[in-house]
Structure 1
Amino acid sequence: MINRIALYHIETLLWIARLGTFNAAAERLNTTQPSISARVRELENHLGFSLFRREGRRMLLTVKGREFAAQCEALWAQLETVLLATEAFSTATGIVKIGCGEIVAVESLPAFLSEIKRLMPNVTLEVEIDLTIHLRHKLEAGAIDFAFLVGPIDSPALEAAPIGTVEMKWLMGRELASRLSRSVDGGEVPDLPVWCLSRPSHLYQVMAESLRQSNLKRPVINTCNHVRTLIDVVASSGGMAILPELLVRDRIARGEFVPVPEMVADPIAFFAVVRKGENEPIVLEMLKRARDLRLG
């Protein structure tokens, strides 16, 4: 029986167990859903028992399947560790899916990816830029392997390493600030258009809390899902917004942005995150390298 079970059978089993569907496992392993189904049938025929049961769209492990998968998970991790110890990361192969928010993507991601490619030139990196809330769900579900996320990270399913905080500032464009200085007496901030990242973002929550503590009366809140565009809108005097200081530091120095009087915002903490109990040596090495990052 042993010599009729190939490594790809075990790898297929583990990815279905992690991702929950044959289609997701097929995408992850760069094959087709019929191929995944065939591998499962072959493995079940060799073992003599069913590994999965269907519940809606998801495939759940049976009682025996759960026990077998747990044993295989430990053996698979040991095998990968042994192979990497023999070959080193320079010859490692595979596909690693990385999620990242736009702030870290602009500030630190290029250098991080360059370092990873230098260390693991044969590993394929697939990078997805998205909001933390979406990336977090994908990481928990196993659809991505590693992510840079806004904290706090309070999920028992995730392990996080802090990489620094980003100061946030309420800013408006120079031209808008000049107009206000000529028309407003005493420094009171009138009802200006407010811009922010889209509602599911952590930055939207920071903005809402800051507005709650201010004396502004129900301002019109406009949203944009792209930080760079948001910065350009504010620079063109489209209103005011909470912006990451490290992304606009040079433009503040040039006078393109002016602080909004009496408006403050809390800094945002960022973390490198993997799933709790992650045992892929390549992913763990990425987490180790990410611990050395310092935003700003």
Structure 2
Amino acid sequence: MTTLKQLEALVAIAETGSVDAAARRLGVVHSAISRHIREFEEGFGYPLLDRAGRAARLTVEGTEVLNRAKAVLLQRDLLLERIASKEVLIRKVRLGVTELTALTWLPKLLEAIRAAYPRVVIEPEVDHSVHLRDRLHSGQIDLAILPDAFAATGYVKETLAEVQNEWFCSPALTAQTSRMSLAKMSEYTLLTQGELSGSGILIGEWLRKHGVLPRSTISSNSLVALVGLAASGQGITYLPRSVIANLLASGQLVALRVTPRLPPLRYVAMIRSDVAMPFLRSVVAIARRACDFDSSYQMFGGGQGGLARSAGK
């Protein structure tokens, strides 16, 4: 007789790509996953995994069974949500966020989820927007919080907030003025977020639309790296003010008044439509209440040399 553990093992292997990764996700040893699959295959009568290569790939029969397995597990989760109170509901939520959320309100979000669901295990991941979108699509995470840079087909999106980026640089770079046009800014090196960043994708499109052709660019998918480069006078970058509040206060960075102003970026919570159960929708509602991109992150200490001291820790 097929068991739920066998179904869970099959789905975990399909979504993670290996028996080892599936075992880590389910919190069991490698041999347990192998046993579940072997027993499943014996009862089913066909091989579910193609064992010819190193990667764990599903056979044709395994792929057909996979969709049914997901449907059964989804119904199991729906039943548990209906009969269990929040205080005793045992679930796992795999939460993907970008660096900006991690630098501002992620701790507040984790505390709010734990308060609402004391027995739910939260597995947060901090990654680039493109990676989070791909992991959400493959089922490796349940919920992603990221800029609204991707198509909504097959997903449920909930708007959380709009984030306003501004232009910043070292005071030594533009000592003469804090005002400039986009055309003038093109004479400087622009420090931009890379193609893996949702913000980088959206602002890159906006800059191209406005004909901005900078003298040179330095691209990084790390906000921390962009802050360090800007503070050392390597160029002009765009960031939310909250991330660098201390560096502005200490004078290591200054804000530029550039016209036209950058557009606000919408941040959304995304879940796949086929798994948009009440529990995940409840977590999204918690995220909407906890969302606060204006929280000031204290990584960059105030005073002269504050950035260098923080970076050395």
TM-score, L = length of structure 2: 0.76
- Residue 60 (structure 1) aligns with: 58
Matched, 1:36 2:33: yes
The correspondence for 1:112, drawn from 92, 109, 112, is 109
For the aligned residues, what is the CA RMSD? Answer: 3.3
CA displacement at 1:42 relative to structure 2:
0.6
- Residue 123 (structure 1) aligns with: 120
The correspondence for 1:228, drawn from 220, 224, 231, is 224
Q: Report Cα offsets for 1:234-279 as digits up to 9, x if no partner.
A: 2454321111244346766887522154353222211111222115
How many positions carry a matched residue from both structures? 288
CA displacement at 1:216 relative to structure 2:
6.0
Matched, 1:134 2:163: no
Judged with a 3 Å threshold, the aligned counterparts in structure 2 of structure 1 residues 192 and 50 are, in CA distance, closer, same or farther, namely same
- Residue 309 (structure 2) aligns with: none
Identify the range of structure 1 (231-240 vs 158-167) with the bigger mean alpha-carbon deviation.
231-240
- Residue 161 (structure 2) aligns with: 164
Q: Identity across aligned pairs (percent)? A: 25
Identify the range of structure 1 (244-253 vs 228-237) with the bigger mean alpha-carbon deviation.
244-253
Gaps of 5+ in 2: 294-313
CA displacement at 1:100 relative to structure 2:
0.6
Q: Report Cα offsets for 1:188-208 as digits up to 9, x if no partner.
A: 557222212234323333454
State the SS of the aligned residue for 1:110. helix
Gaps of 5+ in 1: none
- Find the aligned partners of 2:207 and 2:215 in 1 and give their Cα distance: 9
Matched, 1:23 2:20: yes
State the SS of the aligned residue for 1:93. coil
CA displacement at 1:26 relative to structure 2:
2.0
**Native 8 Å contact 1:173 1:234 kept in 2:** yes
Matched, 1:80 2:77: yes
Matched, 1:150 2:147: yes
Name the aligned partner's letter for residue 125 of structure 1: I
- Find the aligned partners of 1:190 and 1:205 in 2 and give their Cα distance: 18
Identify the range of structure 1 (252-261 vs 164-173) with the bigger mean alpha-carbon deviation.
252-261
**Native 8 Å contact 1:148 1:270 kept in 2:** yes
- Find the aligned partners of 2:166 and 2:274 in 1 and give their Cα distance: 37
Judged with a 3 Å threshold, the aligned counterparts in structure 2 of structure 1 residues 189 and 116 are, in CA distance, closer, same or farther, namely closer
- Find the aligned partners of 2:203 and 2:4 in 1 and give their Cα distance: 50
Identify the range of structure 1 (90-99 vs 129-138) with the bigger mean alpha-carbon deviation.
90-99
Q: Report Cα offsets for 1:98-118 as digits up to 9, x if no partner.
A: 111111222332211111011
**Native 8 Å contact 1:16 1:24 kept in 2:** yes
CA displacement at 1:175 relative to structure 2:
3.9
State the SS of the aligned residue for 1:181. coil
**Native 8 Å contact 1:99 1:127 kept in 2:** yes
**Native 8 Å contact 1:195 1:230 kept in 2:** yes
- Find the aligned partners of 1:217 and 1:279 in 2 and give their Cα distance: 42
- Find the aligned partners of 1:230 and 1:154 in 2 and give their Cα distance: 27
State the SS of the aligned residue for 2:274. coil
- Find the aligned partners of 1:250 and 1:143 in 2 and give their Cα distance: 36
Judged with a 3 Å threshold, the aligned counterparts in structure 2 of structure 1 residues 191 and 295 are, in CA distance, closer, same or farther, namely same
- Find the aligned partners of 2:139 and 2:172 in 1 and give their Cα distance: 47
TM-score, L = length of structure 1: 0.80
The correspondence for 1:100, drawn from 97, 121, 140, is 97
State the SS of the aligned residue for 1:165. strand
- Find the aligned partners of 2:6 and 2:47 in 1 and give their Cα distance: 14
**Native 8 Å contact 1:170 1:242 kept in 2:** yes
- Find the aligned partners of 1:89 and 1:13 in 2 and give their Cα distance: 28
- Find the aligned partners of 1:216 and 1:18 in 2 and give their Cα distance: 41
Judged with a 3 Å threshold, the aligned counterparts in structure 2 of structure 1 residues 172 and 16 are, in CA distance, closer, same or farther, namely same
